[in-house]
Chains A and B, each alone.
Chain A
Amino acid sequence: MRRFAAPLVLLFITATWVVITSWHYRGLNSVQQLAAYNKGILSKKNLPRNRQLSVPGAPGEANISIDTLGIPHIFGKDEAGLAFATGYMHARDRYFQMELLAYTVMGRLSEIIGKDGIYSDQNWKRFDLEEKAKIIMDSLAISEPGLYHYLQAYQDGVNSYLNNEEEKFRDPMYLVWNYSPRPWKSYYSFLIQWYMSFELTFYDDYINRQEILDKLPPSIRDLVYPDHKDNQPMIIPSTEQHQKPADQPFTRQVKIFQPGQPNAYNARPTNPDLGSNNWVIGKDHTADAGSILCNDLHLFLTTPNIFYEMQLKGPGIHVYGYSIPGVPVILTGHNENIAWGITNGGWDVTEQYLLKTDPSNNNRYYLDGRWQTMTTKHFVLDVKGAGKIDYPVKYTVFGPVVQTTNITYALHWHPAQWSAGLQSFWKLMKARDWNEFRQALRNYDYPSQNFAFTDTKGNIGMICAGKMPVKPVGYNGGLLDGTQSPDWKYCSFDSLPQSYNPARNYLFSANQQPVANGYYSSRWFSDLYRPKRIDTLLSQARKFQASDMQQMQLDITDLSVRDLQLLIKKHSDKNRLSANWRSMLEWDGKLVAQQREAVFYKTFRYAAGESSKEIAAMLGVQAPPSFDQFIHLLLTHDSVVYNGKVIVIKDIFQKLVTRCDSLYQMNIDNPSLNVQAYAFSIPQMTFLPTLDIQVDDIGGSDNTINVNYGAHSVVRTVIETGKDGIHSWMVNAIGQTGRLNEKGYSQQLSAWKRNALHKTQFVGRPEELKAVSTTIIFKK
């Protein structure tokens, strides 16, 4: 046997190698398949360039000119051709992304990525959105036949590309995830709208808020968790008249937590930095007596970016801007007459209803004076590599039931009931003036957005649009009573905050409170500094040009530094301050990436977060005060007395100073950490390791106009209107295509860092385009 030892060792090594390289780790393809010469990564080819393609069988006629940035300029002889060509281009450049998003919202992500998708699928399945999307699509056939046919033609364009795509040209991500593209269906567009709504509107901290309401007396709550935004710049200028929406009758308060009762609720994490900036300035503020509209959208940045730049020109439509692959409309951009930009409204559109369940039968809940039975629906999750899993969901009249260790509530996410956003954007693309703009948004629902407006006549406006649920009188953010049937009502469109040609001749939104009318619309308007900075810059008595606006989008001055300076003066002896703290007092607050003050301030922000958590722990609650609430507390009070204990503010500040110094020193002592304010990496959208793109030397924070923290300006636009029409400049944070093996994947990253926006080619005929690399002609 000893003489076979060497071959046996070799056999073991071979078997191990084969097993490892053939292993489909977490739904991914095996190394063997990826490295195969004939069908692996090496076999992939770039999409054909510098040529003319002719695609027969389209429902209409169109041609596409693709420029060297990969931006398609689509000229259609009819709407069907326009939609078909749009679908063709979205599929060509982003089908993996489109499909992944649609499958995510259908609760079928685990079919693509395996077990890691189960958590997401369980979240989405309970809303049953695939069925609702089909119903909406069917209803369009009667209510909006034009849009219905447009979406059908779009579906045909997507599938035409997929059916004719040779495998060697297929997006390498399909090889990496070991599956093949499946056909697109017209109703998937609504699913992607819901994806955006979820990203921008779904909050899950109601139980933590309820804990604060239950445990802390109002006096402490107002000290530590104050709502002190009334002196801040609102979206609608204070000079404007605004009607307050009607309140619902008072609903019975609920109480969950007793003093000292622990809160083990694990809230779904949300990204507080998602948002955006938009502003529009009128004739009084522009050098050329026109108007300028700017927009930068703040989302969690992945490759590919979610936005896709394009131009559409057809009968009755000529529009330029950013679409989302899968949704064939322009979300931010302009046509020949008007321009618009969006920011997230951040309204509270999720409701959690506390249920009283029958102790002897947890399928029953108490409603309107009697026990009612929950209905149960069984979903099937078809998990790649793990077979089918039964997923039962219980429902009440409010929505799906969520059971935690000791709390049972029903979830009502208003956006899940219907989706009318796409219909509004469809009309918006064709709007010619403020009235048509308003008309287009009249039935807009989710995600709630602040729409900035301008037109070629120099008019400016802003509408905070969406379907805002009417909240009960006195509601302040916790759970609602689930023992009474709901009576959902929504604010009328005319009662929503809006402004047209205000006296100051500029408008802006940066996810702040829309209007100070005492009406509860949200708890998440927490960034007080970014709106103030925009207001400060726009209110200067000067005339702006488009180039000034581009510079303003790059602004990295953080006004929260001024509050720190006040804190230092209030709580420290200037003579005993260390050099770092002294430098804070003289600093202008510009967060330049490598600058010592900026790095120190970033450390301070981190340390402040830790101190906030300590305050929450002292009060016996889970949710810490937000940064602005924390600073407000330290600036306005000397002590807090709670339950006989005295919390001395100066002590908190001194501890914060010690923690900050220690963290900063640790960073300095370890140069390999390369701590900057701010560097980050952009993950690939399926979070595949090694595919991150590192971005250094960018600066900024979550309070600067150029937001760089949990979110980034994923696209930026500057649109100028005047006597000679509309001109625009745009940049995408990454690139046009989602194909990892194409140049366009990260082509605009460098320009984005410098905000070197490209001048868009908004032209009436394809012959006027420059730098065209590929032409595709569609024929019936």
Chain B
Amino acid sequence: MHRLFRYVTVTVLLVLIQIFLNGYLLVAGAVMLGILIAVIFPGQNNFLFHVLVIELLIGICWAIFAVENTAQLDNLAVNTGQTTLGWIVSIILVNTITIFLCLATPVFFATRMRKDYKETAERKKNINLIN
């Protein structure tokens, strides 16, 4: 499948789960997306790195979206002795880490299982050859 199409697909799905889901649903959505990536794009270990970048970009987009809300974040910062940037970065990090971990776990498992399956099949093939 064309690489650009893959990224567009993953990005759209990431945006959707972040718009419509939160809490446990967000976790479940990210896991499902991880399984989807593992199934549709097998053997793409480095793909997760790109997902992480996409995820961070989405987070930053949310932060920019929140700029119209800067006043409330500035007030939160003043009233809590924190900084506006601190609030934004904290929120982006929580979401990014959650989605990335939930997404990466099934992909890692699928990659290892696939590798395991391939090696087992290779061994069987070699045994057959020796015999």
Contacts and interface: CB of A to CB of B under 8 A. Distances in A.
Given A33-B23, A42-B91, A693 B81 contact: yes
A10 B101 contact: yes
Contact of A32 (B98, B101, B105, B109): B98
Nearest to B20: A38
Contact of A46 (B26, B62, B75): B75
B24 A742 contact: no
Interface string A22-45: 100000001111011111111011
Interface stretch (A12-20, A377-385, A426-434, A562-570): A12-20
A320 B29 CA distance: 55
B62 A37 contact: yes
Contacts of B10: none
Interface string B24-60: 1011000000000000000000000000000000000
A14 B105 contact: yes
Nearest to A44: B72
A520 interface: no
A618 B97 CA distance: 60
B22 interface: yes
A17 B101 contact: yes
Nearest to B24: A22
B95 A6 contact: no
Contact of A40 (B22, B63, B97, B115): B22
A577 interface: no
The interface size bin for chain A is 35 or more
A3 B27 contact: no
A37 to B, nearest CB: 5
Nearest to A168: B69
B66 interface: yes
Judged by DSSP, the binding face of B is helix
Nearest to B68: A45
Contacts of A10: 101, 104-105, 108
A360 to B, nearest CB: 55
B85 interface: no
B71 interface: yes
Nearest to A172: B76
B129 to A, nearest CB: 24
A56 B26 CA distance: 39
B19 interface: yes
B101 A14 contact: yes
A44 B88 CA distance: 13
Contacts of B102: 14, 18
Contacts of B108: 6-7, 10
A287 interface: no
Given A32-B23, A42-B69, A740 B80 contact: yes
B112 A21 contact: no
Given A38-B18, A740-B79, A45 B69 contact: yes
B114 to A, nearest CB: 12
A690 B80 contact: yes
Contact of B98 (A4, A21, A41, A690): A21
Contacts of A37: 18-19, 22, 62, 91, 95
A204 B94 CA distance: 46
Given A7-B112, A38-B19, A22 B27 contact: yes
B97 A41 contact: no
Instruction: Report which residue of A13, A17, A36 has the largest number of chain B beta carbons within 10 angstroms of its beta carbon.
Output: A36
A742 B75 contact: yes
A28 to B, nearest CB: 14
Contacts of B81: 690, 692-694
B9 interface: no
A7 B109 contact: yes
B77 to A, nearest CB: 10
A31 B20 contact: no
Contacts of A740: 75-76, 79-80
B12 interface: no
A39 B76 CA distance: 16
Interface in A721-762: 740-743, 745-746
Contacts of A135: none
Most buried by A among B22, B87, B105: B22
B109 to A, nearest CB: 5
B112 A41 contact: no
Interface string B87-124: 11011001101100110110011001001100000000
B78 interface: yes
Contacts of A694: 81
B22 A32 contact: yes
Interface in A33-88: 33, 35-42, 44-46
A389 interface: no
Nearest to A47: B72
A668 interface: no
A46 B72 contact: yes
A81 B49 CA distance: 61
B45 to A, nearest CB: 11
A35 B78 contact: no
A4 B117 CA distance: 13
Contact of B71 (A17, A46, A303, A692): A46
Contacts of B27: 18, 22, 32
Contacts of B75: 46, 740-743, 745
Contacts of B95: 35-37
Contacts of A30: 23
A746 B79 contact: yes
A741 B87 CA distance: 12
Contacts of A407: none
A11 interface: yes
A617 interface: no
A35 B91 contact: yes
B79 A745 contact: yes
Contact of B72 (A3, A4, A692, A741): A741
Nearest to B109: A7
Contact of A44 (B23, B24, B69): B69
B76 A741 contact: yes
A746 B82 CA distance: 14
A666 interface: no
A311 B82 CA distance: 34
Contacts of A46: 69, 71-72, 75
A31 B71 contact: no
A37 B88 CA distance: 10
Contacts of B90: 35
B101 A13 contact: yes
Contacts of B112: 3-4, 6-7
> Which among A33, A35, A45 has the highest number of chain B CB atoms within 10 Å?
A35
30 contacts: A4-B109, A7-B105, A7-B108, A10-B108, A11-B109, A14-B102, A17-B101, A22-B24, A33-B22, A35-B91, A37-B62, A38-B20, A38-B22, A40-B22, A40-B91, A42-B66, A46-B69, A46-B71, A46-B75, A303-B79, A690-B81, A690-B82, A691-B79, A693-B79, A694-B81, A740-B75, A740-B76, A741-B72, A743-B78, A745-B79
Q: Nearest 3 pairs between A and B by C-beta?
A: A36-B22, A35-B94, A14-B101
Given A36-B95, A37-B19, A743-B75, 9 more contacts: A10-B101, A18-B98, A40-B22, A42-B91, A46-B72, A172-B76, A691-B80, A741-B73, A746-B78
